[in-house]
C-alpha cells in the first residue's frame, strides 16, 4: 500500500481497513475524545519536541524517539497518515520527524479533522490503542533538519533562502518570544496560515497559486530552503508545503527562533 503525500478525506475513508495503516491524530486531547477518524491513535504533540529551554523545539534523542515509535507500533512498512485540528502544524511535525528518521511512507490528511467532519464521514469517540512494536531509530536523513551552526554558515548564501513562517509581528520584531526580536537577516516572511484555505476547512490552498506566491518572494525549488518559526511547529507545515511543491532541498530548523533569538552571537534585524 502506498498513499500520496496529500490525501483527501473521502480517499482515506476507502482505506480504513488496509493492513499496515497507522492513522495518527495530533489534535488536542479533548477534540480527539469528542470525534476522530475511526482507528486513529492519539499522539500528544509535545512528545515530538524536547520541550527544554532555551530551544524547546529541538528533536528528542534517538532513544526517546525509538520508544515513541515503538509505542505507536511503527514498522518500516507502516503507512502513516497524520492529521490535526489546526491546519497541519503538528501533523507536519510528525511527518517531518518521520522523514528525518528515514521513514518514507507518510501522508497528510488534507484539512485534518475539520475536513473529515465537513465531509460527513464516520467518526469514533472511543480511544484506539496501537499494538506496540520494537522500532529503533538509527538513521538521520541528511538535509531534513539543520542546526544553528548550519544556518549561521548558510544564511547569506544566495543559493539558500530562509523561510520565516511566524506572524508578521514576530518577523518585524514587534512581538518577541526570545531575548532578541526580529528575524534572521535576509529571511523571507510567508506566514504558515497563508498556505491554508480558511474557506475550505483548512485544506492546503491550490498548489499552483502557492508556487507562484512563494516564487515572487524568492522561495523556489532551485534554492535550498530552510524554514523555521519559534519552535519548528508552525514551520513543519511550511516544510510540508515545500514537499508538496516538489522542492528537492527543503529543511526544517528545529531550534528556530527560540534558539536563534536567545543566542548571544546570532545576527538579527527588524523590519523598517
Q: Do domains 6-118 and 145-260 have the same CATH topology?
A: yes
User: Tens digits of per-residue pLDDT, 149-179?
Assistant: 999 999 999 999 999 999 999 999 888 876 8
* Cα 23 from Cα 16, distance rounded (Å): 9
- Closest among 188, 155, 157, 196 to 171, alpha carbons compared: 188
The CATH architecture of the domain made up of 6-118 is 3-Layer(aba) Sandwich (3.40)
Domain boundary assignment for the chain: 6-118, 145-260
User: Tens digits of per-residue pLDDT, 237-267?
Assistant: 999 999 999 999 999 999 999 999 999 999 9
User: Tens digits of per-residue pLDDT, 108-154?
Assistant: 999 999 999 999 999 999 999 999 999 999 989 999 999 999 999 99
- pLDDT value, residue 176: 80
Spot the catalytic one: 172, 229, 245, 258.
229
The residue-averaged pLDDT of 38-67 equals: 97
Question: Which top CATH class is 145-260?
Answer: alpha beta
Does residue 1 carry a pLDDT above 70?
no
Which region among 105-109, 136-140, 204-208 has the lowest average model confidence (pLDDT)?
136-140
User: Tens digits of per-residue pLDDT, 84-101?
Assistant: 999 999 999 999 999 999
- pLDDT value, residue 180: 85
User: Among all chains, which residue has been given the C-alpha cell 523590519?
Assistant: 271
- pLDDT value, residue 137: 96
> Which residues, at least 6 apart from 14, have a Cβ–Cβ distance to it below 8 Å?
none
User: Tens digits of per-residue pLDDT, 11-34?
Assistant: 999 999 999 999 999 999 999 999
Produce one character per residue of 124-152: b if its CB has 16 or more CB atoms within 10 Å, e if not.
Answer: eeeeeebeeeebebeeeeeebbbebeebe
Please give the grid coordinates belonging to residue 83.
492529521
- Closest among 271, 263, 213, 272 to 242, alpha carbons compared: 213
Q: Are 66 and 59 in contact (CB under 8 A)?
A: no
Banded model confidence at residue 181, pLDDT cuts 50, 70, 90 = confident
Instruction: Examine the residue annotation and report whether 113 is marked as an active-site residue of this protein.
Output: no
Amino acid at each position: 500500500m502506498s498513499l500520496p503525500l496529500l490525501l483527501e478525506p473521502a480517499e482515506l475513508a476507502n482505506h480504513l481497513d488496509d493492513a499496515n495503516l497507522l492513522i495518527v491524530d495530533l489534535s488536542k486531547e479533548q477534540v480527539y475524545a469528542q470525534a476522530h477518524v475511526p482507528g486513529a491513535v492519539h499522539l500528544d504533540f509535545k512528545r515530538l519536541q524536547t520541550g527544554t529551554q532555551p530551544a524547546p523545539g529541538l528533536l528528542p534523542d534517538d532513544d526517546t524517539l525509538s520508544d515513541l515509535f515503538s509505542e505507536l507500533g511503527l514498522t518500516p512498512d507502516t503507512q502513516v497518515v497524520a492529521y490535526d485540528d489546526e491546519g497541519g502544524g503538528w501533523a507536519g511535525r510528525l511527518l517531518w520527524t518521520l522523514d528525518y528518521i528515514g521513514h518514507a511512507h507518510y501522508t497528510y490528511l488534507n484539512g485534518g479533522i475539520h475536513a473529515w467532519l465537513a465531509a460527513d464521514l464516520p467518526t469514533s469517540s472511543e480511544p484506539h490503542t496501537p499494538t506496540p512494536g520494537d522500532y529503533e531509530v538509527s538513521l538521520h536523513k541528511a538535509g531534513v533538519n539543520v542546526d544553528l551552526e548550519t544556518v549561521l554558515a548558510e544564511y547569506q548564501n544566495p543559493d539558500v533562502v530562509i523561510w520565516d513562517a511566524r506572524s508578521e509581528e514576530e518577523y518585524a520584531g514587534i512581538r518577541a518570544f526570545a531575548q532578541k526580536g526580529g528575524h534572521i537577516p535576509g529571511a523571507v516572511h510567508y506566514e504558515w496560515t497563508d498556505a491554508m484555505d480558511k474557506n475550505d476547512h483548512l485544506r492546503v490552498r491550490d498548489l499552483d497559486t502557492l508556487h507562484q506566491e512563494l516564487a515572487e518572494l524568492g522561495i523556489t525549488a532551485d534554492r535550498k530552503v530552510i524554514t523555521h518559526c519559534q519552535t519548528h511547529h508552525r514551520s513543519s507545515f511550511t516544510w510540508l508545503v515545500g514537499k508538496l511543491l516538489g522542492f528537492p532541498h527543503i529543511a526544517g530548523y528545529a531550534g528556530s527562533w527560540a534558539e536563534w533569538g536567545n543566542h548571544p552571537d546570532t545576527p538579527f534585524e527588524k523590519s523598517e
